[in-house]
Structure 1
Amino acid sequence: MQLTLMTLNLYNYVAPPAAAYEIDNILEPDQWLKKQAWIAQTIEQADPDVVAFQEVFSAAELAQLCADLGYAYFEFTPASIADDSHVYYKPGLALASKYPLDKKLTHKDIPADVFSRPPLITELNLTGFGALRLYVVHLKSKRSLLDKAKEASATELEHYMGRWASDQLRTQEMTLLMQDILLQRQQAKQGVIVFGDFNDDLSQGSLPLAFATPSPKALDTEKNWSMHDSYSLYATTDERRPTHYYGVHGRILDYILLSGEFASNYGQQIGLVTGYQCIDRHLTHSNFDEHSQASDHAAVVVKLTSLHH
């Protein structure tokens, strides 16, 4: 059996007349239709079985869009909106699937309120793969962590310290995420998939700890704790493409991580990575008519093939 996965930061997915972050950040009706059309086209191009989304303010509208495309199962974390206002100040996450999602899991082992955006956790059970634990994350950005009321008047030093605080929070988020994954893997041997915008290169800061190789004296069980970047498990010599650009400088911020069950050195391997794609035409060859309401992130698509029937 094959399973195709996709992750995509939608970049302020908010249906008019609501706004994202600022009171005047409202899409015109024609802009909204263009955004909907681009998302639908991107999903249809990749044809994933499961697709994760970040920066979701209007979950009901996204659920309907996905349902129209054949994704009957949809889970989300709610966005936060100011009282007596149409302005959202914190986005949610979402996951759409062609296959039933067993349940939306609560954060029993991690304090979700520590996260800038609490992760979405659910499960999928498929023939050939068994039970898979799915996480959708959107880690803290590099933007300075400052009180919004003081942001405009903050000094250069305060902005610098705010960026440092953001990095520390992202480190804490990654630590808590791995803690939850490892605690669950102690209790149940099931495959784990993490979809997300990590807002950093996975080789930076604390993020590489997810891939740390235990010492040679480690217990056999510990050797199976590491997560794997799906790209690294795919046999390709193609140069990896950035998923986001700051001006002309590209960076890889969006990833699909897999547990040891998809690595060849794991004794209980259940599947192989048989495809990896970065859908980025809207970033590298932008056409205003077609891409004016596209995301500022590329979509990452990964294909898995099960080793069991």
Structure 2
Amino acid sequence: MVRQKSIKFASFNLLNFAAPPYAFYQPEETYNETQWVTKTQFITGLIQHIDPSVIVFQEVFNPDILASLCDELGLKYFATVDTPTQDPVYANVLFNPVVAIASKIPFKQCKPLEPSHELLEYLNNLAQFKFNRTPIKCTFEIDGFGPLTIYAVHFKSQRVHSMAHILGEPDQEDPFLTLLNQTVGTMQSQISRSLEASIVYYDALKTQREKSSATLVMGDFNAHISSPALSFMTEQFPIDNEPSKFDSVGLFESFSISDNQFEFDQKPPTHYFHGEGNVLDYILASKEFSPTHPNSKVESLTYYNYASHLDPKRDDEDIRYSDHAAIAIEITI
């Protein structure tokens, strides 16, 4: 009897992983010793519980500290492709957290995702485009499965950059400024998120087509996958008994192809805002991960949501933990 092999892929937004004495965004935004010990114990315990083969992280201000933590948990392979920035006046204040990936499986290659020049030109963004957080593109060769490309992402947040400077720095309470921020500013945030997703999507499909590589896009998408900014990412090509070349690429929302989806009334929230649950974190998977697809490489796919630390009634962030659930998929091959 052939013994099945299971592999688990996870994603977790750590919420401001900045080890003291470093602060995040403002000098007073830092952890005291007790808070930091609680946070690292929480993260360590949750990762041990998940027991991932590969995990991606968001909101990482101190990659070196996270790398050591992961190494102690058996995730020996660790990578980031960018570095947070320091405040020019207060050196301990950090901005621009990065994404990271840790794995028990050796990487073949990890590199920053380079946007397609041709795609940016097509989208009229050749000169000014820059990711809010640079995605990681990481490749693996997995025994019994084959080539795999993982994209670790953290798309543009729903936070609006103030338009005050356009109006000559008016009073922040100016009703006209509030109206503009709620309309034009919100739309700009959606456009930025959609553009980032378009670049990742294009590269993922191009890699599938050219490298015949299975694909996972994992991370904090900062919007529901059905939102206008992101819904194109799971548009499906027709599935035939004899898949055509047009069926050779594409992405599925992993919960929708999981064996255990019917155990839930609906997909569990990964984040709460004013008591309302939202799904912001996703693992998108190529056809090789769909147990019912003709080209599947897996026997089963199980979806997991780790949210016991979230309190739907809490309005403010508890920095000792995280404001996001961790999510994972486990496959058997």
When normalised by structure 1's length, the TM-score is 0.90
C-alpha contact 2:163 2:180 (8 A) present in aligned 1:
no
Over 3 Å counting, the alpha-carbon distance change for 1:299 and 1:156 in structure 2 is same
The residue correspondences of 1:3-22 to structure 2 (distance < 5 A) are: 3-22=7-26
The letter for the 1-side match of 2:150 is L
Larger radius of gyration: 2
C-alpha contact 1:122 1:133 (8 A) present in aligned 2:
yes
- Alpha-carbon distance in structure 1 between the residues aligned to 2:156 and 2:114: 21
- Alpha-carbon distance in structure 1 between the residues aligned to 2:145 and 2:163: 45
Over 3 Å counting, the alpha-carbon distance change for 1:147 and 1:73 in structure 2 is farther
SS in 2 for 1:282: coil
Q: Deviations over 1:72-106 (max 9, x none)?
A: 10011322222352211211001110111111124
C-alpha contact 2:112 2:135 (8 A) present in aligned 1:
no
Range with bigger deviation, 10-19 or 77-86: 77-86
Report what 2:132 is aligned to: 116
- Alpha-carbon distance in structure 2 between the residues aligned to 1:151 and 1:295: 35
Structure 2 residue corresponding to 1:32, chosen from 36, 46, 50: 36
Q: Indicate yes or no: 2:330 matched with 1:303.
A: yes
When normalised by structure 2's length, the TM-score is 0.84
Report what 2:54 is aligned to: 50
Report what 1:23 is aligned to: 27
Report what 1:158 is aligned to: 180
The letter for the 2-side match of 1:235 is D
Q: Indicate yes or no: 2:252 matched with 1:228.
A: yes
Report what 2:148 is aligned to: 132
Range with bigger deviation, 37-46 or 158-167: 158-167
- Alpha-carbon distance in structure 1 between the residues aligned to 2:69 and 2:239: 49
Per the TM alignment, residue 215 of structure 1 is displaced from its structure 2 partner at its CA by 6.8
Q: Deviations over 1:28-62 (max 9, x none)?
A: 11111111000000001111111110000000000
- Alpha-carbon distance in structure 1 between the residues aligned to 2:61 and 2:116: 24
Per the TM alignment, residue 285 of structure 1 is displaced from its structure 2 partner at its CA by 8.4
- Alpha-carbon distance in structure 2 between the residues aligned to 1:102 and 1:215: 32
Per the TM alignment, residue 235 of structure 1 is displaced from its structure 2 partner at its CA by 2.1
Structure 2 unaligned regions, length at least 5: 121-128
C-alpha contact 2:275 2:313 (8 A) present in aligned 1:
no
The letter for the 1-side match of 2:229 is S
Range with bigger deviation, 270-279 or 293-302: 270-279
Per the TM alignment, residue 126 of structure 1 is displaced from its structure 2 partner at its CA by 1.2
C-alpha contact 2:58 2:100 (8 A) present in aligned 1:
yes
Runs of 4+ in structure 1 off by over 4 angstroms are 147-152
Q: Indicate yes or no: 2:101 matched with 1:95.
A: yes
The residue correspondences of 1:1-309 to structure 2 (distance < 5 A) are: 1-77=5-81, 78-84=83-89, 85-110=91-116, 114-146=130-162, 153=172, 155-160=177-182, 161-214=184-237, 220-236=244-260, 237=262, 238-239=264-265, 240-264=267-291, 266-284=293-311, 293-306=320-333
Over 3 Å counting, the alpha-carbon distance change for 1:174 and 1:285 in structure 2 is closer
Per the TM alignment, residue 292 of structure 1 is displaced from its structure 2 partner at its CA by 6.2
- Alpha-carbon distance in structure 1 between the residues aligned to 2:18 and 2:199: 29
Over 3 Å counting, the alpha-carbon distance change for 1:68 and 1:2 in structure 2 is same
C-alpha contact 2:272 2:312 (8 A) present in aligned 1:
no
- Alpha-carbon distance in structure 2 between the residues aligned to 1:156 and 1:144: 11
Per the TM alignment, residue 273 of structure 1 is displaced from its structure 2 partner at its CA by 4.2
- Alpha-carbon distance in structure 1 between the residues aligned to 2:239 and 2:217: 27
Per the TM alignment, residue 130 of structure 1 is displaced from its structure 2 partner at its CA by 1.1
- Alpha-carbon distance in structure 2 between the residues aligned to 1:152 and 1:129: 58
Q: Deviations over 1:210-254 (max 9, x none)?
A: 11134799x922223220111111123123210000021000101
Per the TM alignment, residue 272 of structure 1 is displaced from its structure 2 partner at its CA by 4.2
Per the TM alignment, residue 270 of structure 1 is displaced from its structure 2 partner at its CA by 1.1
- Alpha-carbon distance in structure 1 between the residues aligned to 2:218 and 2:170: 31
Provide the identity percentage: 29
C-alpha contact 2:237 2:246 (8 A) present in aligned 1:
yes
SS in 2 for 1:163: helix
The letter for the 2-side match of 1:268 is N
SS in 2 for 1:200: coil
The letter for the 2-side match of 1:229 is E
